[in-house]
Amino acid sequence: MNAPRRLVFAALASAALLAAAPAGAKIQVTDKDGALSINGKADVRIDADKMRHDDVRVAKGDVSRGDIVTSGSIDVEGEVDGSCVSFGGRVNVPGTVRGDVVAFGGSIGLGGSASKDVAAIGGPVTVSGKVGGDLAAIGGDVELAKGAEVSGDLSVVGGRLTKDGGAVVRGQISQVGLGALAALVPALAHGGAKFAKTHERVEETSRAVKLAAFLGFALGTGLVLALIGLFFPEQSRGAAAVIRGDFWRAAGIGTLMLVLFLPALLGLVVSILGIPLIPFAFLAWCAAILFGLAAFSHVLAERAAESLGRPLPAAPLAVAAGWLILELLPFCGRLVGGFVGGTFLFAGFLLLSCAVATGLGAVWITRFGRRLS
């Protein structure tokens, strides 16, 4: 496995353990001979070179030795003497896992037992069995059914926690729900005020110049995205289908990619062998963002066509139209100015950030639109 791919796996796995571990826990990631070793509160070893790309099932009565790492789903009815990690698939454990259970962009169902930690990013977790370590979920709901037992801490970020009276959590319970979004309105107002103060100092001629520059950027980017829709119509539609059908999963994975991009780039910088790969990594990152924006724009065009009761145009026109819809708020903000314009600009920035994150997640899930989830 090449160095960049291995680095991504290391970063993702360490992020999951950081979410599960309490504040102050020390996490150290090392890479040696194709194996990822993550040491902290829990010790996890993932043989990245042995990663599979199919669905894995351990039948009742069977015992699987070593870790299971796959981009497909995992069903454990028997016993796994190691950890189970899925990138994009679900993990169902009515049996026994002697290590950790981790899912990126997929759900976890634990009716049996996991000896160590359980962590999910971008997917729900349902537990009716026993968790020997910590339980963490980012961007997904957690349901503790009757008979569920968590020996360590329980952390839920961006999701709801449902706990039956018969469920037991021996550690601390921490939850950061979507109620934090209630701060969005005052944030919009605050952002609008800041933009208003900035634009009030700008003369009309300067505003016209900035508006022209913005239009040039918007039209140029729209042309590039339209070319993506022209040359890769099926791929852009495939990524758009993931955004439309599994929005939160794509948004969760894309946000994680945005958070880990800079640390991954720094990892290449400090590595002598990784320095020549930096330009290629940067180009791949830019390509992924543009492809994701094309997919998100395609979804916006589909919604607009459905609302107007009109057929969806060809992929290039659909992508270009969706991009123009995406840029409508910032255009109105620059055109109007003042407090209202600042609010439009801030809201447009939030929408564009959502488009970038969700598009990146869809690109990762579909491998640039080459396969559906």
Q: In whole angstroms, what is the distance from residue 298 CA to residue 301 CA? A: 5
DSSP structure string for 98-125: SS-EEEESS-EEESSEESS-EEEESS-E
| Residue 119 phi, psi (nearest 5) | -140, 135
Per-residue pLDDT of the chain (373 residues; tens, 9 = 90+): 443 344 344 444 444 333 333 333 333 434 444 444 434 343 444 444 557 788 999 999 999 998 888 888 999 999 999 999 887 789 999 999 999 998 877 899 999 999 999 988 778 999 999 999 999 887 788 999 999 999 999 988 767 899 998 999 999 888 765 444 444 445 544 555 555 455 455 445 566 677 777 778 788 888 888 888 888 888 888 888 888 888 888 888 888 888 887 777 777 666 656 667 777 777 888 888 888 899 898 888 888 888 788 887 888 888 888 888 888 878 877 777 666 777 778 888 888 888 889 988 888 888 876 665 5
How far is Cα of residue 265 from the mean position of the Cα atoms in its chain?
Answer: 18
In degrees and rounded to multiples of 5, residue 44 shows phi and psi of -125, 135
| Residue 290 amino acid letter | L
Residues 35 and 13: their CA atoms lie apart, in Å, by 12
Interatomic CA distance for residues 203 and 292, integer angstroms: 36
- CA 215/CA 226 separation, integer angstroms: 16
Distances (CA, A) of 315 to 104, 243, 297, 323: 30, 16, 10, 12
> Could you tell me the sign of the dihedral formed by the alpha carbons of 247, 253, 254, 259, in that order?
positive
What pLDDT is attached to residue 341?
Answer: 72
Q: Residue 129 corresponds to which amino acid?
A: G
**348 close to 329: Cβ distance less than 8 angstroms:** yes
| Residues 98, 81 contacting (CB under 8 angstroms) | yes
Tracing tokens 């002697």 back to the chain, one arrives at: 98
Instruction: Give the per-residue pLDDT at 40.
Output: 37
- The pLDDT score that the predictor gives to residue 91 is 95
Strands 68-70 and 43-47 come out as: unpaired
Please give the full DSSP string across 56-107, using - where no structure is assigned.
EEE-TT-EEES-EEESS-EEESSEEES-EEEESS-EEESSEESS-EEEESS-
Residue 72, judged by CB atoms within 10 A of its CB (0-12, 13-18, 19+), counts as middle
Q: Which residues, at least 6 apart from 215, have a Cβ–Cβ distance to it below 8 Å? A: 331
Containing 197, the helix (H) or strand (E) segment is helix 184-200
Contact 82, 69 (CB under 8 A): no
Return d(Cα 265, Cα 164) in angstroms, integer: 43
Domain boundaries, the chain: 3-176, 182-366
| Token representation of residue 311 | 């057929």
